[in-house]
Structure 1
């Protein structure tokens, strides 16, 4: 793998992303902050949810923003590159392996996902009135590991979606996929409290967002109920490996067609 070529491709993709900063911010910030405003600001002031719910919600909002950003940053450009513009052919002519191009796409998605998390966290905390009790300063290593694995997981997931989906179907795939992933992904409630509905607690384990939400909850609000750390890391690492392998395999298949 030619490291210089990969860095050049990465620089080019990040330069394109910087030119589209406005659409990036809307894509990343709008939906999580709308949920934050309603569930973390409006409803607590109406007395419909407890004030402590803000601390429980914030880690899920960060996980959601990184999920959406990582997936869309990789999947949407790939659908266009493979479908209409065929721009991917220019990348494949570079002095780098096909697998190297796929890994570079994952790296781009990881960077954008981390940027999304860094943007949404302070904004969401401010909207909630800065009353969410965060303890992430006590577990900085855990927070960094969860953020890195989450960004990798959903960038790899985006690679798989972007190479396995036809351009005319990508909108449908996202509409069908994102809704259930969000509502079953423990974004707005902790996994531990689902013990009262045991079958549902087990079922949601197939949703990769569960491990991201619970990972940030364990890192940022460890005083609240959350999934055991061993299960969080197992889920994140397992899905990272799965989607990376599937994504690279599908990318190579599309590249040689």
Structure 2
């Protein structure tokens, strides 16, 4: 049942991507001309992997928090994931944030699954610098396994028989 929910969520995410990405490629504000360089093999492989990883994270979060604590989850889990997920900046831009010569923020965000998805999408749509794909794919796959495994364990514990 839980795997079906993850796959259903991933299918919905994939469907949304198939609708939103073409629209986003042609609809822009006046005067804006995006410089897209689509790398199809990255896009076609990364989007399904990202959909499964993020729905597995949703399963894990949904089974880890009590319904009355959803606000806490958004404040302490979802918000930091979004703001430190590289959606608004390149991962490479975090290197100057240092303490004693150590790029602590660039290293800290590596525990965030969204940074790998953002960097992978940056690689799929642009020629800008990005995290190497040989890091992105295994990290996302590892997060998939981790989140799905923990989410399924939590789901089994919460299921009423």
Give the TM-score normalised by structure 1.
0.56
Higher helix content, 1 or 2:
1
| Structure 2: segments with no counterpart, 5+ residues | 98-102
Contact 1:163/1:247, CA 8 A, preserved across alignment: yes
Match of 2:133 among 229, 234, 241: 229
Q: 1:84-233 maps to which residues of 2 (within 5 A)?
A: 101-125=1-25, 126-129=27-30, 131-136=33-38, 139-197=39-97, 198-221=103-126, 223-233=127-137
Higher RCO (Cα < 8 Å, 6 or more apart): 2
After superposition, the CA RMSD in angstroms is 1.7
5+ residue gaps, structure 1, are 1-100
Residue 227 of structure 1 deviates from its aligned partner by 0.5
Q: Secondary structure at 1:196's aligned position in 2?
A: coil
Match of 1:249 among 150, 153, 161: 153
Offset at residue 224 of structure 1 (A): 0.5
SS at match of 2:95: helix
CA distance in 1, matches of 2:86, 2:20: 18
Aligned length: 154
State the 1:244 CA deviation. Answer: 0.7
Question: SS of the residue aligned with 1:127?
Answer: coil
Task: For 1:147 and 1:241, locate their aligned partners in 2 and report how far apart those are by CA, in whole Å.
Answer: 16
Larger radius of gyration: 1
Return the TM-score normalized by structure 2: 0.87
